[in-house]
Amino acid sequence: EIHKGINGLEKVILRDIRGSSVEIYLYGAQVTSWKNEHGEELLFLSSKSNFKPPKPIRGGIPICFPQFSNLGSLEAHGFARNRFWVVDPSPPPFPTHSSNKKYVDLLLKPSEEDTKIWPHSFEFRLRVTLGPAGDLMLTSRIRNTNTDGKPFTFTFAYHTYFSVSDISEVRVEGLETLDYLDNLQNRQRFTEQGDAITFESEVDKIYLSTPTKIAILDHEKKRTFVIRKDGLPDAVVWNPWDKKAKSMADFGDDEYKHMLCVEAAAVEKPITLKPGEEWRGRQELSTVPSSYCSGQ
């Protein structure tokens, strides 16, 4: 059902019988809340977020399309997150979808204005699903609907902001020994060392050819987020830390301590679609109790 959210912006709420819930704003098709059955908020949303178009909402899961970051001539992270999506009136049949899941289908097509900055026709369908175990799944289906025979190329990310108790007691597992591009060092390529990633300063890294599964361990909550992804070979890890946090108007000075972005992405190898072709990119988020002790 559609509700009025902050500043009157419309949002959809998905609830399951066990008490889990997800909220998605039509502005940007942006998930802004994912709560477990105890009503705990699992995503980070800045207390200073604008909720005022055309600025993007700071937190939740921004959709970066058709351009990740400044890798092209469009505004940072493209324009999908700055547009009003609609609830898809006619979703095409979706394979393997059992009826005990709560979901909403959102649709974005470019406006006249959009085709001036990105001269292509597309249909971008996002299905947000709240699974029976409270897991959150996002499936993007992007189709090239150009009638001029032209292919198009894009980069993509689910820019997920996870809520963590204390960034200095968080570990990320699954990215060990992988190569990454370091945004803080002119995107030069480095190789990650051999054990779990921990955080003591600003991090902005694009890990390449990453595994399907990545784990984010929150020590204090004894909780692990698990990301399972498909069609998204890269993973961006970002924490602005104190200095950069202070420079962002829509981000509280201390909020960096309680968030971590781990973003399922397709960046190193941009995706090219011919007219009529469709790309799918999926991420599934879940939480499991974790007994890790920091430093192990």
Q: Which residues bind ligand TA6 (CB under 6 A)?
A: 56, 69, 76-77, 159, 183, 204, 236, 238, 261, 263
Q: Cβ closer to ligand TA6: 105 or 263? A: 263
Q: Which is nearer to ligand TA6, 135 or 263 (CB)?
A: 263
Q: Among all residues, whose Cβ is closest to ligand TA6?
A: 238
Q: How far apart are CA 154 and CA 78, in angstroms?
A: 10
Options 120, 159, 173, 284, the catalytic residue: 159
CB of 64 vs ligand TA6, minimal distance in Å: 8
Active-site residue flag, 263: yes
**CB of residue 206 to ligand TA6, shortest distance in Å:** 8
Nearer to ligand TA6, 135 or 204 (CB): 204
Q: State the nearest-atom distance from the C-beta of 217 to ligand TA6, in Å.
A: 20
Whether 200 is catalytic:
no
> Which among 23, 173, 255, 263 is annotated as catalytic?
263
CB of 260 to ligand TA6, least distance (A): 11
Pick between residue 87 and residue 178 the one whose CB is nearest to ligand TA6: 178
Q: Which residues are catalytic?
A: 159, 263
